Amino acid sequence: MVVLVTGGSGYIGSLLIRRLPYVDEFRGYTIRIFDSMASGKYYSLFDLPPEAKYEFILGDIRKEDDLRTALKDTEVLFDLAGITSVPLSFKKREETLEVNVEGVRRLLDIALRAGVERVIYSSSAAVYGNVSGIVNEDHPCNPTSPYAESKLLAEKLYMEKFREAGLKVTILRLGTVYGYSPGMRFDTVVNRFTFLACIGRPLTVWRGAEECMRPYLYVGDAVSAMILAAKRDEMIGHVYNVVTENAKLERVIGTITSLIPEARVEFIEAPYKQQISYGLDSSRICRMGFKPEGSLERGVGEIIEHLKALIPKR
């Protein structure tokens, strides 16, 4: 049997493919990685666990032939594919919708014909839009970027297949992911600020933004939530917020400066007054057994450990 991870070379996927072989329910399965490698993260495929059985398929989620090859004999699908950059989605709106929505539509059609039993879809807290306070899964969604819009549209496609075709679907709305993985990203705030501190550059903060709260998700906890969703039948047909900690930016900055005392923080005037402050209520997935094991200290510390040679010496 096959477990398929689309976007398997990415930030979360590169850690998931290393954890799956050690999950009892998937021992002996082939871990099939499907990726276009558009991000160029070939290095994230280095040194996979030698005792596991892997397959790699270079393909495009928009191409039916590639999807048919990837989905053959697949029992469980972790869908992490797609364009994940909010700024890029504004520049490439049509491509974002084509990949993140039409790609999912094709993936679902072929997955049903191939007999896929279970799907875990990686969505985003960005679907809520400009909200405030702590929001749960029943909060109205009002996406404010093409990326967020595409994730919400894809969610709807998945839930349609759950209701109409009985596909076992679970949707996870992830907070802002941070921490070390083989397929690192440095365009999110925790990872970016940590990198800047390691190379001796100042952390530039909009004045007032330090009081704004965001939902942060340790990358290891993101993987744990996905594995949990694949194991728990009670989670089928539902949407779950996933977060390690709702924290103000000042806590992120404080964590980094506590680990790198030399780090400098520079405050500048914000280009606009409206600054969003919100967090995620993750009590629904916690009732399913999700227990975050990460922390900002752990995630920042991991990145520092891998970049410590760059930290300027006193």
More confident residue, 129 or 314: 129
Residues of the chain with CATH 3.40.50.720: 2-177+217-242
Q: CA-to-CA distance for 285 and 244, rounded, in angstroms? A: 12
CB 59 within 8 A of CB 70: yes
Residues 104-128: pLDDT tens digits?
A: 999 999 999 999 999 999 999 999 9
Tell whether the model's pLDDT for residue 274 goes beyond 90. no
CB 223 within 8 A of CB 290: no
Tell whether the model's pLDDT for residue 90 goes beyond 90. yes
What mean pLDDT do residues 4-15 have?
Answer: 98
CATH of domain 2-177+217-242: 3.40.50.720
Residues 212-236: pLDDT tens digits?
A: 999 999 999 999 999 999 999 999 9
Give the pLDDT of residue 16.
98
Tell whether the model's pLDDT for residue 163 goes beyond 70. yes
Under DSSP, the state recorded for 20 is: G
Kindly write down the DSSP assignment for every residue of 32-63, as one continuous string.
EEEE--TT--GGGGTT--TTSEEEEEE--TT-
Residues of the chain with CATH 3.90.25.10: 180-215+245-278+291-310
Place of tokens 């930290």: 311
Q: Where are the alpha helices (DSSP H) in 166-278?
A: 189-198, 219-231, 249-259
- Whole-prediction pTM value? 0.96
Give the pLDDT of residue 6.
98
Give the pLDDT of residue 216.
98
Q: Does domain 180-215+245-278+291-310 have CATH number 3.40.50.620?
A: no
The conformational region for residue 117 under phi > 0 = left, psi -120 to 50 = alpha, else beta, is alpha
Average pLDDT, the chain: 96
Please choose, from the candidates 172, 152, 161, the residue with its C-alpha nearest in 3D space to the C-alpha of residue 229. Answer: 172
CB 287 within 8 A of CB 281: no
CB 144 within 8 A of CB 138: no
What mean pLDDT do residues 190-213 have?
Answer: 95
Angle at 82 between CA 282 and CA 120, to 5 degrees: 45
Residues 244-255: pLDDT tens digits?
A: 999 999 999 999
pLDDT band at 273 (very low <50, low <70, confident <90, very high): low
Q: Which residues have a catalytic role annotated?
A: 147
